[in-house]
Every structure is written in C-alpha cells, then in structure tokens.
Amino acid sequence: MGEASAVVEQLDMLGHATGVEVEQSSPDEGEKIAEPFDPDDIDVVTRSMTVDLLLSRTESEMIDLQPDFQRRWGVWDARRQSRLIESLLLRIPLPVLYAAEDEDERWEIVDGIQRLSTIARFIKPQIIGGQPLTLTGLEYLHDYEGKDFEGLSSRLKMRLRETELIIHLIRKGTPPEVKFNIFARINTGGMALSAQELRHAITPGKARDLLQTWASLPSFIHATDGSVRPIRMDDRELVLRFAAFYMLGLESYKQPDMDGFLITAMKAINETDETALSVMQFNFVSAMETASKIFGHDAFRKRFEKDAARLPINKAVFEALSVSLARLTHAQLATLEQRAEALRHGFMALCHDRSFESAISQGTGDIRKVNRRFSAISDLIAGVLADA
C-alpha cells in the first residue's frame, strides 16, 4: 500500500478555492521544452504606442480589453486603479505589455489587461462598458483626489493621452505552441494567467465556445457537484482534457508536454465537423451521467477511506475516468451502474496503490504516468464488467 500524498486545493487570484486539486510538478517540470522548436518561428515585434492610439484600436475592436478570461477589470479595486493613473500623471513608466495577434490582426492582451482596462475606464469608460473611475487613495497628488478625467486640466488630459506604452506583440505567424511557451515564461505577475487562460488567448476558433458550452452542461455541473469555479477556466480545462484524449487518443501523447497536447486538441476541435462534435458531446454527457450515478458527490476525486473528508476534483482522474466511460456502450454503462459498489471499492483500492497514486498526483504529464492511470482505470472497469 502506498501512502497518500498531501492534497492541496488550487486557489484563484483572490485566494478563493477553485474546487480543483493542484497538480504537483516534478522538480524539473516546466524548465524543459518537450520538443524543441525552430527559433525562426518566433516572430515578436516591439511597438511604442500612445494611450490615444491604444484606446482608438480598442474602440474599433482591434484590441480586446474584456477577453473571456473571467478576469474582468474589476479585479483591481478603485484605489489600485487610481494609483496607476497617478503613476501616469507623474510620468512613471509602466511595465511592458504583451499581446498575441490573431489571423485578423486583432490583439489579445495577455499581460497588462488590468493596466489597459484601468486607463480605458478613466479616460474613455464607454468603450469597456464600465463606470467612470474617480481617483481615490492617491499617494502624492492629493489635489486630484475625487476627480475624474473631466476634472483634470487640459494639460494633464493631454499628458495622459500622449503617454507611450511599450507592447511586445507576438505576431500571427508564430505557432500556438511557441506562443504558449513565450507567454508561460513571462507570465509571472501577481495575477498571472492560468495555463487554460493562456491556451484560450492564443488559440482562437470554435473550440473556445465549445469548451464554455460543455462546461455549462447540467451533466458536467452535476458530475462535478458544482464545485469547480469557472474564474480561472478550470472547468474548461477539464472539458479540454477529456476532448484531447478522446479525439487524439492516448497513443498520440508522445511527448511529456500536456500543455502542447491540449493546444493541439483545441486546434483539432476547430477543424472537426459539427456532426463528429455532436457525437463526442453525447458520449461526454453519458460519461458525466454515469460517473454521477456511480460515485455521487465523490466523482473524479481521490478516495482513500469510505468516510474520509471529500477531496477536490483531480484533473488526472477526470481525464482518465471520463474518457474510459465515454468509450463504453450503453449496455456496458448500465452494467457498471448496477455494479457501482464494486467499481467504487476498486477505485479506492487503486488510490492506495503507490504507482497509481503517483500517476494522478505528481508530474502528471509524464508519459509513463499518463499511460499508467489510463490503463489502471481501464483495467478496473474491464474487471468489473467481466465479473458481472
């Protein structure tokens, strides 16, 4: 019997629990590139643009200041937003911004959305549908306390409009995998994007809408007991993990690079016809409904003791169990439901197995561990069906 590793629940940028277990990395995980890419594929340009030009580009919808990250400009409170405007008035340079360019040359702001949104809210709030910002909690410019943009002198208004910001733009010809690696390396701010938010930013197309739609399905919400908070797109990542292994197959996972594999899956969804996606959705829903009936509130979570406290959703368990269930026939799913106790008991025994527990807890992107958890759950299900 292996000892259970410590389970830590993931937190959002405000310190709230997301309902998903943190995937613990191996010591060297994240420091290596699974498959080297050609440096010539990197196309990054640096641009210096005035605030006026950036707001104009935003107003014409060529910059998206409210991308679907669930990271609205309201994450910053009025005091923090006011301090940023104060910095501009004092001519203090802001950190550089990073953006990804799509095929239509629109810019998705990946690092700096809070800064740009704050500036827009103060100078031209209508373009982001926000309430005008009134300065509060200023550190030096106390004479401007309580003022909005219109309350400033013409000289200060012009100073703000002509302020130049530096933007590093990842051009549209750069492969998504390369974009992800670049952004992952610079994504170290206090409110850094999650991996799924990065994937969302650099991979446009219908996959974005599909992940959101499936994560909103009653069957998914019920199976996860409504415990996965969407604020960091953890719910969409769970759906994507299912889609990746269901569509591409376990045999396609040939590099220890889960992020790259999931980006490939998003591109595959974009290229798949609606009929095939409908079939996959039907099987996804069947898997969710069966998992709910068999495991109840404990679906997709580690389970070591029958009466132990419930643990968060485990991403590795979710992908392996959901895909395994989705590949079964209606009759096989019905049989599993009848033998629910045997399957629950078998899964609990697996969680006490050292190699399986490791495969769903630490370094889960390792090829051997991916194969281990899929084969273990597949063998468990096959055994329960054979004994029926």
Listed by start position, the domains of the chain span 9-23+191-386, 43-173
Predicted confidence (pLDDT) at residue 202 exceeds the cutoff of 90: no
Angle at Cα 59 formed by Cα 185 and Cα 232, nearest 5°?
40
pLDDT at 1: 44
Could you give the CA distance from residue 182 to residue 94 in angstroms, rounded to a whole number? Answer: 20
Could you give the CA distance from residue 138 to residue 145 in angstroms, rounded to a whole number? Answer: 7
pLDDT at 49: 95
Task: Judge whether 262 and 241 are in contact, CB under 8 Å.
Answer: yes
Average pLDDT of the segment spanning 277-295: 97
Task: Look up residue 364 and give its DSSP letter.
Answer: T
284 vs 189, more confident:
284
User: In whole numbers, what is the pLDDT of the chain averaged over residues?
Assistant: 87
pLDDT at 23: 76
pLDDT at 16: 60
Average pLDDT of the segment spanning 173-193: 71
pLDDT, tens digit, 9 for 90 and up, residues 123-168: 999 988 878 999 999 999 999 999 999 999 999 999 999 999 999 9
Task: Judge whether 221 and 206 are in contact, CB under 8 Å.
Answer: no
pLDDT at 31: 42
The residues facing 167 across adjacent strands are 47, 97
Predicted confidence (pLDDT) at residue 222 exceeds the cutoff of 60: yes
Least confident of 21-30, 226-235, 321-330: 21-30
Least confident of 16-30, 157-171, 259-273, 327-341: 16-30
Per-residue pLDDT band for 100 (boundaries 50, 70, 90) equals confident
365 vs 198, more confident:
365
Rounded CA Rg of the chain: 24
Burial class (CB in 10 A: 0-12, 13-18, 19+), 56: middle
Could you give the CA distance from residue 388 to residue 383 in angstroms, rounded to a whole number? Answer: 9
Helix (H, G, I), strand (E, B) or coil at 241: helix
Q: Give which of 117, 129, 285, 163 is closest to 215, Cα–Cα.
A: 285
255 vs 277, more confident:
277
Predicted confidence (pLDDT) at residue 236 exceeds the cutoff of 80: yes
pTM of the model: 0.74
Predicted confidence (pLDDT) at residue 225 exceeds the cutoff of 80: yes
Predicted confidence (pLDDT) at residue 190 exceeds the cutoff of 80: no
Predicted confidence (pLDDT) at residue 249 exceeds the cutoff of 70: yes
Predicted confidence (pLDDT) at residue 333 exceeds the cutoff of 70: yes
Average pLDDT of the segment spanning 348-354: 94
Predicted confidence (pLDDT) at residue 326 exceeds the cutoff of 90: yes
pLDDT at 13: 52
Q: Give which of 265, 218, 204 is closest to 237, Cα–Cα.
A: 265
pLDDT, tens digit, 9 for 90 and up, residues 51-94: 999 999 999 989 977 655 534 444 678 999 999 999 999 999 99
Least confident of 18-27, 28-37, 259-268: 28-37
Per-residue pLDDT band for 29 (boundaries 50, 70, 90) equals very low
Say which residue the tokens 């396609």 belong to: 252
